[in-house]
Amino acid sequence: MFSKQIKVILFLLVLFTIGDGNAWVILKNKNQIETAEKSLSAPKKNIIQDAPYTDQQVKDVEPLLARLPQNINKVKVLLKVSDWYEISYDNPKTLEKAYLYAQDALRISQKLHSSIYIGKCYLQLSMVYQLKSNDKMIEVCAKKAIAAFTNTDQINDLAESWVMVWSAKMRTHAPLAERFSPIFKAAALFEKVKNNQRVGDCYSQISELYFSQSDFESSLTYLKKALFYYRAAHLDEEAILPISSRLHIIYEAEKRSKDIIKLKNKTFLQQIKLKNEVFLRNSMITFVVLLLIILGLLYKSYRFKKKTNKMLETQQNEINKKNTTLQNLVIEKEWLLKEIHHRVKNNLHMVVGLLASQVEFLKNEEAVQAINNSQNRIQAMSLIHQKLYQSENLSIIDMPSYIFELTEYLKDSFEIRNRIRFILDIDPFHLPLSHSIPIGLIFNEAVTNAIKYAFPNHAKGIINISLKASNDQKYKLIIHDNGVGLPPDFDPYNNPSLGIKLMHGLSADIEGKFLITNVNGTKITLEFTFIENNLN
């Protein structure tokens, strides 16, 4: 829990301290287009979906190849040996062996009229030709693999074959239209088999192609899709962080491309740049201070645990004294946890303050609105930590109290007074931090959208909030307003709104079912299951 909150703080600070430093990154994108195909079209090993051979297995099986019968099993062995030589490529001889074994496997597959293994052989040859830098044969073999895989159930391999066609187009500097077609087909096929990580890879490279055309809007759209699929693939935040940073870079590039025309003849550009440098310096100082605090806490925790272990080792034979010591340690650890929750809450408030300071330098209304939304989200998390360090139990949240206080905060934040009436129906139960934070953020997004959009022209309305727990350990959150409802063209499953994507992503984190419907207004439903025994 401690490390996740630190990651959130550091990630926000990195986003704010990027500033004008992103400009030099944009200059590198010409080279990125030429090298991007290497990362996506890197040969996907294990063509036959078995464990790859080890060095010893290759030594054992090679002498036996001549005596094996000409059947599918021999094709599998030949492909695995070819795959091993391709992976172990360090000179033209090993690459040539990979090529010859793949050709031998293709010959047998054609004799057996096996479309699947003919396709696998051509896909393997395409990868070998890539290492040989034979760009023409990469595309030829990849298209033959596509012809063989068509009308089979090998959709993943079919998608990889389209990736190889795209790789050949990139290597030969084909027109952009010819580069887009195969990578879009690959993405659609990977999406069909729910290979989320490869879908993300494809959309990431599509974003780079648009970026090379200075089409920043399309580049931003597809990079957001890539980020969505990477999270659906449950990649670590460390792996997703570069994509998030890239998203910020493209956003800044799009913004600057529009602003440069308006700011071309203005004389105070140096003054703005100086202010940004001062802000960057102050942000870096803040970042360093926070980092030192975190390192100090980690070092203190390490020393404390070391001291505790030593104490337990020396007092094993003194049962009564050890019990007393353990009881004192529990009290001290609870105090430390309360202190940590308190400091996390204070750090989140500091971030809210930094966001509020940033608003004073912004003139773009959308940017101001985005920062205000971020402040509400951070406040939802901060409230949880505040309740934790104020309560006796440091691991669970009293949901009725939390929902009530969060509702009151949103009412005060939007200054709605008595214009909108809230009706709360919350069952008394507790949830841990792992569920209360996602539910709080989903609640914040849903209620914020209802306040902002459900009652235009300061109309009066009602927002019903229900959080019920059933006997079968299932929970249901319903936020229902009697406002104007959703627009006719609203698609809850393919919506570019950050709030909608955030609610979908958070629902997936707790394995919940999320639904948005029009029922005399907008109705948002979240159903999830949680076993209370897990609280222990």
Half-sphere exposure of 475 (CA within 13 A, CB side): 21
Residue 29 tokens read as 């994108």
Whether 269 is covered by a domain: the verdict is no
Q: Please tell me the total count of domains within the chain.
A: 2
What value, to the nearest 5°, has the Cα angle with vertex 450 and ends 447 and 456? 150
Tracing tokens 């139990």 back to the chain, one arrives at 393
Task: Find out whether 6 and 178 touch, Cβ atoms under 8 Å.
Answer: no
Burial per residue of 187-211, b for 16 or more beta-carbon CB atoms within 10 angstroms, e otherwise = bebbbeeebbebbbbbbbbbbbbbb
Question: pLDDT value at position 372?
Answer: 63
Q: What is the spatial distance between Cα 145 and Cα 121, in angstroms, rounded to a whole number?
A: 8
Looking at residue 122, what is its pLDDT? 94
**Distance, CA of 12 to CA of 370 (rounded, Å):** 13
Look at residue 19 in the predicted model and tell me its pLDDT.
36
> What confidence score (pLDDT) does residue 1 get?
37
Residue 256 included in any domain:
no
Instruction: Check residue 160 and give its pLDDT.
Output: 93
Kindly state whether residue 492 falls inside one of the protein's structural domains: yes
Q: What is the pLDDT along the chain (536 residues), one digit of tens a residue?
A: 334 443 433 333 333 333 333 333 333 444 443 444 445 654 444 445 567 888 888 888 889 888 899 999 999 999 999 989 888 877 888 899 999 999 999 999 999 999 999 999 999 999 999 998 899 999 999 999 999 999 899 999 999 999 999 999 999 999 988 999 999 999 999 999 999 999 989 998 998 888 888 888 888 888 889 889 988 888 887 777 777 677 667 767 666 766 666 676 677 777 788 888 888 889 889 989 999 999 999 998 888 888 888 888 887 767 777 776 666 565 555 555 555 655 555 665 566 566 666 666 666 666 665 666 666 667 666 666 665 545 555 567 788 887 888 788 778 777 777 788 889 999 888 888 788 888 888 888 888 888 888 888 888 899 999 998 887 788 889 999 998 888 877 777 776 677 788 888 888 888 888 888 888 888 889 998 887 654 44
- Class of residue 348 by CB neighbours under 10 A (exposed 0-12, middle 13-18, buried 19+): buried
Residue 461: strand, helix, or coil: strand
How many residues are there in the chain? 536
Both structure tokens of 507: 């629902």
**Which residue is listed with tokens 């040969």?**
43
Is residue 65, in this structure, part of any structural domain at all? yes
| pLDDT value of residue 26 | 35
List CB contacts of 446: < 8 A, sequence separation 6 or more.
Answer: 479, 503, 524
Specify if 333 maps to a domain: no
Q: Is residue 386 part of a domain?
A: no
Token pair recorded at residue 499: 């709030």
Chain position carrying tokens 């159930």: 153
Say if residues 78 and 98 touch (Cβ distance below 8 Å).
no
- Among the three residues 163, 193, 223, which one is the final residue of a domain in this structure? 193
Q: Residue 89 belongs to a domain with what CATH number?
A: 1.25.40.10
Q: Is 202 helix (H, G, I), strand (E, B) or coil?
A: helix
Q: What is the DSSP string of 213-252?
A: TT-HHHHHHHHHHHHHHHHHTT--HHHHHHHHHHHHHHHH
For 242: left if phi > 0, alpha if psi spans -120 to 50, otherwise beta; the answer is alpha
- The pLDDT value recorded for residue 188 is 94
Instruction: Among 156, 171, 193, give the residue marking a domain's end.
Output: 193
Nearest to 429 by CA among 397, 390, 464: 397
Asked if residue 264 belongs to a domain, the reply is no
Domain end residue (candidates: 169, 193, 217): 193
| One-character DSSP codes across 59-98 | HHHGGGGGGS-SSHHHHHHHHHHHHHHHHT--SHHHHHHH
Instruction: Find the helix or strand (DSSP H, E) in which 430 lies.
Output: strand 430-432
* Range(s) of the domain holding residue 446: 396-529
pLDDT of residue 443: 84
Residue 127 lies in a domain: yes
- Give the CATH number of the domain where residue 516 resides: 3.30.565.10
